[in-house]
Amino acid sequence: MAAMEAAPFTELVRAHAGLIHRVAYAYCRDATDREDVVQEIAVQLWRARDRYDERYRPTTWIYRIALNVAISFHRRERRHRERRLGIDELPIAVAEVAEPSEEVQLLLRCIDGLGALEKALVLLYLDGSDHASIAEVLGISVSNVGTKLQRIKDRLRVALEARARSDERERPHAAR
């Protein structure tokens, strides 16, 4: 398979900038780390462009690479906070995306408590992927996707309700 040329590649990355930023935001709270992850995703997509199989949707290919990069970065950053990759010479820039709302940030903080696979599953689900697409990206069965999603939803519901109760208890104290 021939390597994807620079122009179509750049267009593909720009068209999926929101997806790339959502993956980075799901795995990194620090803005600098998020930007590093976005850039590393772009680099890895560029390096893998000759392995893109047009029989599959671009989002599946991008998600697989983006999730692998984000998970690896997250693990590496836990162990080696000071490591940085210099990629200034890369001719690709991913478009900026606005910061999420307070509600979305609250949900993302709850999602932070999930494991890497669960976090990826939720991210794909929140992005509107169907169970079959999620299964394809993560390499698990469709029925496993449904089971895991239901369990995760239950855990997130409990976490969000606990957070709401905590916020309500703090509100009267702030008014005094």
Region class of 129: left (phi > 0), else alpha (psi between -120 and 50), else beta: beta
- pLDDT tens for 16-42 read 999 999 999 888 878 888 999 999 999
Of 7-11, 63-67, 156-160, 163-167, highest mean pLDDT: 63-67
Structure tokens at 132: 């079959």
pLDDT-based confidence at 83, cuts 50/70/90?
A: very low
**Residue recorded with tokens 């990629």:** 87
Distance from C-alpha of 156 to C-alpha of 118, rounded to nearest angstrom: 11
Class of the domain covering 100-176: mainly alpha
- pLDDT tens for 133-168 read 999 888 899 999 999 999 999 998 888 888 778 777
The answer to whether residue 87 scores a pLDDT higher than 60 is no
Q: Which helix (H) or strand (E) holds 50?
A: none
Please state which architecture CATH assigns to domain 1-98.
Answer: Orthogonal Bundle (1.10)
What is the residue extent of each domain of the chain? 1-98, 100-176
pLDDT of residue 82: 47
